[in-house]
Amino acid sequence: MREDLSIVPASPVPPTVSTQLARASAKVAGFLEVGLQGAANTERAYTSDLKSYVTFCERHGLRALPADVETLTEYVAYLATEKPTPEPGDGGSGEKKKRKGQQPLTRPHSLATIKRHLAAIRKAHQLAGHRLPATLDALNIVMEGIARTLGKRQDQAQAFTVDELKQALRRIDLETSAGLRDRALLLLGFAGAFRRSELMELNIEQLEFTERALLVHLAKSKTNQYGAVEDKAIFYAPTMDFCPVRCLRAWLNLLGRTKGPLFVKIPRAAPGHMAATSDKRLSDISINKIVQKRLGADYSAHSLRVSFVTVAVLNGQSHKAIKNQTKQKTDAMIERYTQLNNVVSYNAAQALGL
């Protein structure tokens, strides 16, 4: 059955809002359009989630929009329990492959992901001019059951140690353009506790080099939707090969420009030659692949941020100091990010003085 993805808005401004835009002044229309937008990564995730939702509804003969409570409860139960079905002729390895229009499930979704799917469905209703059912008691009860079944601990990117990062950096070939770029990206991403979306969107003009540190001016982020300028401070390290500021300067010297995207794609070069750089910005997927290439398949771009928090906590840094760099709003997020769960390595019982 062909997917009907018409419920997924093609643009931030749906037809139902067009009437409001037409009647509004240019200034009001602009604010209305921006108000319907969100962080770029969130929008991409919502689009993917809505495709999954539409596919589910079509396969089960359910109405996607406007949804009723029964449809929503069926969908979240599916996300929480469904396992992938191998495709014909796949020999049982269908878990690794995509079905058209649907991400295969290798395991039940996490509670956080299920909540994001619901947020995407809620957003789709808003953009299409529909309202969700006034009473969602049944859905709330089902979600509580899912939370109790799956547990409230969210999946988290794996953290690395500083020694593991240094080992990875030593393996990078610095005689190549990609090597200089990747070293700068890893060090900046870790030292600045950056999200991959922030690394992707960085421009050279957002960098300010000072005697004490590099200041990175962020105009907008996942937790800063209103565009208030936020700064991250990146400090010098004693060793050149592990200094995020000097390694970034080496990359900038190769770029040879003062404006435009900071981390860009690099065309292939002949062996032993330094490739020319481009002005094509790396995608968030490309950044993730770079981290996995340099650090290992167990890690992701989010490991840069998670590792910063974990290392900072181990070094005795206060939550306030950590949030000053991560820009997280609550201590709860730090607790979630900190990966100190090894019952032997991190346990007060080993320091009782017995």
* Domain edge (last residue) among 115, 150, 185: 150
Give the pLDDT confidence score for residue 164 in this predicted structure: 97
- 118 with 168, same domain: the answer is no
**Residue 342 included in any domain:** no
**Residue 42 included in any domain:** yes
Distances (CA, A) of 253 to 245, 246, 250: 12, 10, 5
pTM greater than 0.85 = no
- 259 with 330, same domain: the answer is yes
What's the CATH code of the domain at 80? Answer: 1.10.150.130
**Residue 230 included in any domain:** yes
- 146 with 234, same domain: the answer is no
- 145 with 170, same domain: the answer is no
Distances (CA, A) of 140 to 73, 76, 85, 147, 307: 9, 11, 28, 10, 34
What DSSP line would sit under 35-102, residue for residue?
Answer: HT---HHHHHHHHHHHHHHHHHHHHTT---SS--HHHHHHHHHHHHH----PPTTSTT-GGGSPBTTB
Rg (CA), the chain: 23
- 101 with 223, same domain: the answer is no
**Residue 262 included in any domain:** yes
**Residue 1 included in any domain:** no
Task: Please give the structure tokens belonging to residue 90.
Answer: 């796949």
What's the CATH code of the domain at 267? Answer: 1.10.443.10
**Residue 343 included in any domain:** no
Give the pLDDT confidence score for residue 253 in this predicted structure: 96
Give the pLDDT confidence score for residue 325 in this predicted structure: 93
**Residue 140 included in any domain:** yes
- 175 with 323, same domain: the answer is yes
Give the pLDDT confidence score for residue 188 in this predicted structure: 98
- 34 with 132, same domain: the answer is yes
- 174 with 137, same domain: the answer is no
Quote the domain boundaries for residue 269.
162-337
Give the closest residue to 9 by CA, choosing from 37, 39, 41: 37
* Domain edge (last residue) among 150, 176, 197: 150
- 79 with 185, same domain: the answer is no
Return per-residue pLDDT of the chain as tens, 354 residues.
344 445 544 444 444 444 544 454 555 545 545 554 555 566 677 888 888 899 999 999 999 888 999 999 999 999 988 754 433 333 333 333 444 444 444 567 888 889 989 998 988 888 888 888 777 888 999 999 988 887 755 556 889 999 999 999 999 999 999 999 999 999 999 999 999 999 999 999 999 999 999 999 997 655 555 556 789 999 999 999 999 999 999 999 999 999 999 999 998 766 656 777 788 999 989 999 999 999 999 999 999 999 999 999 989 999 999 999 998 888 777 777 776 666 556 667 766 666
**Residue 238 included in any domain:** yes
- 196 with 323, same domain: the answer is yes
What residues pair up with 218 in beta bridges, in sequence order? 230
- 166 with 253, same domain: the answer is yes
Measure CA of the first residue to CA of the last residue in the chain; give whole Å: 68
Give the pLDDT confidence score for residue 152 in this predicted structure: 56
The count of domains in the chain is 2
Give the pLDDT confidence score for residue 210 in this predicted structure: 94
- 166 with 214, same domain: the answer is yes
* Domain edge (last residue) among 150, 170, 186: 150
